[in-house]
Chains A and B, each alone.
Chain A
Amino acid sequence: MVHLLRLAVFSAFVLLALATQYPRQPWRRRRQRVIYFILFFLAVSLEVGLSRREIWPFSTWAVVSGLSPEKITNYDFEVIAADGRAVRVDPQVWQPASDNEILDGWVAWHIDETTPVEREELARFVLGRAERMRQSIRSGARRGVNGWLFGPLAAPYMFRRRAIWHSTDDVPAVRFVAVRLVRESWDVRERFRDESRVSREIVYELRSQ
């Protein structure tokens, strides 16, 4: 039920906003209603910010506010072509979803709870998306969907991973036949000194028939 609080608070915000205008009266008579609207806005936004309880769209804005983790775990998918060439999945494959929301969000939080059947469902989805983008790049068509209007000036995602697949050289000439989820972990300072200090584990792999 606590999630419905967001809807209730936003509804109250909208209704109080409308109450500043309706019924239509001269400004001097509406001023008191404007004051109530402002007080509600201040009360809710300060409560959220100071209590650090998110009631979106009123936000705590607490991002990158803790101490930086010294050890990192990172998930990524790799796809393997029929000729055996393996490539990391390009972030644009996920569009319109963000790679960060999928990999650092859903996969990191939920992959360990999934059943083999669910993992297969996810893997088939990734394989299908990656193959479509491979074909698109091989045919010289545009890559992700986000740049359809603004091109490179399209709004990026909050966390910006580098694109990997730029040209036909970056993707295999033959179709993808397998996908695997890779979990990498490392110590931030050790990797800073030596880029190779990353441990790598295959969480699971699926080969298409």
Chain B
Amino acid sequence: MSSVLNSCQRKCSRFWFRPASAVNLAVARILFAGTALWIVLSRPDLPSILTLPDVMWRTVPKMHRIAYLLVFNLTTERVLFVTLAISLAAAVIGWRARLACFVSGLLLYHFAPLETLFWTPDPTLRGLTLPTLGLIILAVSPCNRALSPTAARKKTPMVSPEHRWPLRMLQVLLAELYWFAGLAKLRNAGLAWVSAKNLQDYLMAYSQIFGIQGSPPLGYRVAAHPAVCSFIACIGITVELLFPFALFSKRAAAILVPMAFVIHVGIALLMHIVFLDAALLLIFVDWSVVYQRRLFDNADVIGLRREDLTS
């Protein structure tokens, strides 16, 4: 019994604390902050949602606003929103990266719900949910040890167990997203979710609500083929349910991550639902290999000895 426990403990320890490269963590910082910055700069006047007619805000329980600390006046909110954009930009370039990630995470918690708060307090899938949690995790990790202006000056290890656990937490966040989505389908609709009729209805309904104009939309063309619909639904739910394997196997990640990306592109084209965080899937790529190869190729140019890199 104790040997089983010991083996389990060793595996857990290896999963969370196996030494890892600082480059992967730095890339995760750029991806999470960059995605959030893209969304924030694409909603430049988000605080002005507070100026929607009173009739809309009267239906919002006071507790919803307090839960997200949306209690300031418009001018203060605008100042905070500019602060958010600046801190996200700082996190992307790696200037005071950890502080920038922390400030960004807190301000995203404050601002992300604003997009939906007048009718629902849950802004899931509007693009800022993963960055809100992810940037807080990155803020307490050594995410500034690579790909930042101060990285070269610091004499910190490029490979450390401290680089593994934050990256793992971010990967678990993404894996949970797919796994929970798959489970929810099975629990809410059962195997009927993968039936041709269900996906046909979804494709038709979303094309009708969001997309119809002139020639038949792509969703209609696919909906005309029940077998294709059933196949797409099966592939989609299979990828979602199997996605946690990407955490444990590089081979599984190499299959599941590109498939998840293709599914997001398909959903955007067929159902007009855009997953704004698709770029975050790139945290499953081992960037240290790519980065090291580039350094190796340019070693002479940037004045490094190839032996230093290989050692």
**Chain A residues within 8 Å of B, Cβ to Cβ:** 1, 3-4, 6-7, 10, 13-14, 17-18, 20-21, 27, 31, 34-35, 37-38, 41-42, 45-46, 49-50, 52, 54, 56-70, 72, 74, 95-98, 101, 104-106, 109-110, 113-114, 118-119, 121-122, 125, 145-150, 154-162, 186, 188-189, 191-192, 195
Contact = CB atoms under 8 A, between A and B. Distances in A.
A10 B129 CA distance: 12
A80 B132 CA distance: 42
Nearest to B181: A61
A161 B271 CA distance: 10
Interface of B is mostly: helix
Contacts of B210: 159-162
A101 B121 contact: no
Contacts, number: 230
A67 to B, nearest CB: 5
Given A14-B136, A122-B56, A61 B67 contact: no
A63 to B, nearest CB: 5
B140 A101 contact: no
Contact of A41 (B68, B161, B169): B169
Interface residues of B, number: 92
A140 to B, nearest CB: 21
28 contacts: A3-B63, A4-B63, A7-B68, A17-B137, A20-B140, A35-B16, A42-B172, A49-B176, A56-B122, A59-B129, A59-B177, A59-B180, A63-B181, A63-B273, A64-B273, A65-B193, A67-B201, A68-B205, A69-B205, A96-B46, A118-B55, A145-B45, A156-B276, A158-B125, A158-B276, A161-B210, A188-B204, A192-B223
A142 to B, nearest CB: 12
Contacts of B209: 72, 74, 104, 161
Given A42-B172, A62-B184, A96-B44, A192 B125 contact: no
Contacts of A160: 210, 268, 272-274
Contacts of A191: 204, 208
Given A60-B180, A157-B274, A192-B220, A96 B55 contact: no
B284 interface: no
